Amino acid sequence: MEERIAMAVEKFKLLIEEQLKRVEIMKTQKEFIKYEEVPTIVVGICGGDGIGPAITNQAHRILEFLLADEVKSGKVTFKVIEGLTIENRVEAMKAIPEDVLEELKSCHVILKGPTTTPRAGDPWPNIESANVAMRKELDLFANVRPVRVPEQGIDWTFFRENTEGAYVLGSRGVTVNEDVAFDFVVTTTDGTERIARAAFEYARANGKKKVTAVTKANVVKTTDGKFLNICKEIAKEYPEIELDDWYIDIMTAKLVDEKRRTQFQVFVLPNLYGDILTDEAAEFQGGVGTAGSANIGKRYSMFEAIHGSAPRMVEEGRAQYADPCSMIRAAVMLLSHIGFADRAEKLEKALDICTQTEKKLVMTGRDTGATSEQFSDYVMETVRSL
């Protein structure tokens, strides 16, 4: 038993050393990239698994259409990156194969389709999620997820911490013996400060009056306690914005409370709570298929859908009927992030018309509705008419 304990302690020591190194790197990265100073913005297009390529291709077509002038002038270029498939990842036994990672790093921003995340018991070996790996490798620390249901007064923006918490060592837990296993949750000062600042900066820039921090600091005292305390510290830099503090359990309940939920505006929360709460929140808007997600870092950013790769649709031959809206929403966020807010606004407006008011075509996920291609044509036609 002594030997087992020593092995576990040795593993833990390594993890501590790695995390301390990560903090040192974080401390050197102060500034966000300025796209207006980048001669050519490289937009990577990464299809992913399952229905991923089908819906990502459509969002890519729309981006090419909206940025045709910038492509011509050389301000923007697209780079299709193949190979982030579960088959390739399993072959390399890596969450992201080396050559794919290199290509990703040659881009400024990436539009990424959903990727299959294996878990114990799947036919695939239990390798790390490509999403989680990409967020870590490219240091995409802010996962920004908007949810809007105007007719119900819902206008929320979630700032989910994306590189720490229960995720950062999620594939590196320690099994001491057959009776005991540990996972680790990591909260760092720099990591929390930067996500809290991102949330408050967003609130300030968008005239929001309240930021809500969501933790379980009464029970998960060390890491969540630290997260909450740092949010309180950062809040002092933004005296015009109120910091509101909730526990994750009651928060999940209050999102369903029609009277209370309209009072929330901006949320800041650790990784796992952010994962859970944003799925719940997206449900009010029409489900995870309707939501886009931005993963923002200081050097790189990645935009994706929040749903999975729907392998069943592919097996049943229905991939061409997959709803591309989530990827188009991700494209909206990408456009606005790299400085084309005008185009982003148009695309969002067109998407709202196509999905909410006009609805000339509907997606049903099968041949009773439109194909992803027909729907994307409809969106582009609508953009043209604006």
Residues making contact with ligand IPM (CB under 6 A): 117, 129, 131-132, 275, 306
Q: Rounded to whole angstroms, how far apart are CA atoms 192 and 197?
A: 8
Our CB check for Mg ion shows the closer of 273 and 321 to be 273
Question: Tokens at residue 39, please?
Answer: 């001669």
302 binds, among Mg ion, ligand IPM, none (CB under 5 to 8 A by kind): none
Least CB distance to ligand IPM at residue 90 (A): 16
Least CB distance to ligand IPM at residue 375 (A): 23
Name the residue with the smallest CB distance to ligand IPM: 129
Our CB check for ligand IPM shows the closer of 77 and 171 to be 171
Least CB distance to Mg ion at residue 385 (A): 35
Cβ-proximal residues to 291 (8 Å cutoff; 6+ apart), any chain: 145, 146, 147, 278, 282, 285, 305, 306, 307, 326, 329
Our CB check for ligand IPM shows the closer of 235 and 288 to be 288
285 binds, among ligand IPM, Mg ion, none (CB under 5 to 8 A by kind): none
Name the residue with the smallest CB distance to Mg ion: 275
Our CB check for ligand IPM shows the closer of 103 and 275 to be 275
Strand partners, 180: 177
Least CB distance to Mg ion at residue 279 (A): 5
214 binds, among Mg ion, ligand IPM, none (CB under 5 to 8 A by kind): none
132 binds, among ligand IPM, Mg ion, none (CB under 5 to 8 A by kind): ligand IPM
Number of residues that bind Mg ion (CB under 5 A): 1
Q: Rounded to whole angstroms, how far apart are CA atoms 60 and 58?
A: 5
**Residue 115 burial (C-beta neighbours within 10 Å; 0-12, 13-18, 19+):** buried
Strand partners, 293: 304
Least CB distance to ligand IPM at residue 379 (A): 24
3-state helix/strand/coil string of 6-20 = HHHHHHHHHHHHHHH
Least CB distance to ligand IPM at residue 380 (A): 27
129 binds, among ligand IPM, Mg ion, none (CB under 5 to 8 A by kind): ligand IPM
Q: Rounded to whole angstroms, how far apart are CA atoms 328 and 318?
A: 19
Handedness of CA 16, 19, 23, 28 (dihedral sign): positive
**Residue 106 burial (C-beta neighbours within 10 Å; 0-12, 13-18, 19+):** exposed
By CB under 5 A, residue 161 contacts Mg ion: no
Within 264-323, the residues that bind Mg ion by CB under 5 A are: 275
Strand partners, 80: 45
Our CB check for Mg ion shows the closer of 70 and 275 to be 275
Question: Tokens at residue 268, please?
Answer: 């800041």
Least CB distance to ligand IPM at residue 67 (A): 26
Q: Rounded to whole angstroms, how far apart are CA atoms 367 and 134?
A: 34
Residues near Mg ion (CB under 5 A) are 275
